[in-house]
Amino acid sequence: MDGPIGMFDSGFGGLTVARAAIDLLPAEDLVYIGDTGRYPYGSKPLGDVRGFARELAHSLVDDYGAKVIVVACNTATAAGLDDLRAELGVPVIDVIRPGVSALVQTTTTGRVGVIGTVGTVSSGAYVHAIAATGAPVILTSAACPGFVEFVERGQTVGDEVTVLAERLLAPIRDADVDALLLGCTHYPFLARTIGDVMGNGVTLVSSADETAFSLKQTLGDLGLLRAVDRRGHRRFVSSGDIDLFRELGCQLLGPELDRTESWPPPR
Ligand code: DGL
C-alpha cells in the first residue's frame, strides 16, 4: 500500500498519463521514468523495446519499490505486456485496453481510427484489442512517424507539424471516421493540430484518463489505495539529459515536474 505507482515511457509522452493519474489520485506517490536516452521506441524492433520495458519495469519494482506498474507507452505495451505480467510480482496496467474501451464507447457511426507508432500499428495490437471487445466497428489505422520527434523537441504546433499531420492523417480522413484514438501517449500534445486536420466531426480519444481510471480501480480492488489525507510525492527520472527533461517536462506536465533524477539510479 505504501509503495509508489511506477510508470514509464520512452520519453515525454507518458506524462499525459502521469497528469491524469496525479489529478485522479493526488495522494499517491509516483515514480516516472522517461527513457529519453533510448527514445524513440516506435521505429525500433519490438524485441529491443521489450528488453527496455522489462529493464525499466523491474527497476521500478526493485529500485523504487513500485506497488503497481503503468506502462504509459503503447509501443512498449504492444511489445512486452505479456512478459511483464508474467514476470513482475505486482499488477501491470497498460494503455491499449483502456484506450480501446473509450474508443468503442465514443463512436456512434462505428467507423473508428487509431494512430500510433510504426511499432504499435504493425504489431496488430489494436486490431486484436478491438476484436476482443466484440464491438461492431470498422477500424482504419495509420502509423505517424515523425509525430513523436516533434513532441520530444517541444514543437507541438506550427506549419511543419500541420503539413506532416495532413499527409499522415489522409487515410483516416478518407475513411470518414467519427472517433480517432491517439494510440501513442505523445500524441495528446499534438491534439490541437490533429483536431484541426481531422475537423469538427471527429472526436479525439486519449487513453490517459481511461488508464488512470483503470489504475484507480485496480488499486482499489487490491486494497492498495493510499488514504486521501496526504499529497503524494512525485519523482521524475530520465535516462537522458535530466536538465532538458526538467525544462520541457515542466512545460508539458506542469509545475509538479520541478526536479529530475538520473536513471539508472546509483546503487
Ligand atoms: N509514447 C510511446 C507510445 O505510446 C512511443 C514513443 C516512441 O516512439 O518512442 O507508443
pLDDT per residue as tens digits for the range 7-39: 999 999 999 999 999 999 999 999 999 999 999
Q: From the alpha carbon of 13, which atom of ligand 1 is closest?
A: 1
Per-residue buried b or exposed e for 111-136, using 16+ beta carbons within 10 Å of the residue's own CB: bbbbbbbbbbbebebbeebbeeeebe
Active site residue 144: no
Mean pLDDT of the chain: 97
> Is the confidence at residue 1, as pLDDT, over 70?
no
Whether 251 and 15 have beta carbons less than 8 Å apart is answered as no
Residue of the CA atom closest to atom 2 of ligand 1: 73
Buried b (16+ CB within 10 A) or exposed e, 224-263: bbbeeeeebebbbbbbbebeebbebbbebbeebbeebeeb
Return the percentage of the chain with pLDDT > 70, whole number. Answer: 100
Query: Residues 246-266: what's their mean pLDDT?
Result: 96
Cβ of 185 below 6 Å from ligand 1: yes
Domains of the chain and CATH, by start: 5-94+209-262 (3.40.50.1860), 96-207 (3.40.50.1860)
Which atom from ligand 1 is nearest to the alpha carbon of 43? Answer: 8
Angle at 79 between CA 234 and CA 47, to 5 degrees: 115
- Region 107-133: mean pLDDT is 98
**Mean predicted confidence (pLDDT) in 180-194:** 98
Q: Is 250 a catalytic residue?
A: no
Kind of pairing between the strands at 234-238 and 92-93: unpaired
Give the mutation target among 50, 148, 181, 238 for probing the ligand 1 site: most ligand atoms within 8 A of CB.
148
Residue 267: band (very low, low, confident or very high) from pLDDT cuts 50, 70, 90 = confident
- Binding site membership of 120 for ligand 1 (Cβ less than 6 Å): yes
Query: Residue 42's pLDDT band (boundaries 50, 70, 90)?
Result: very high
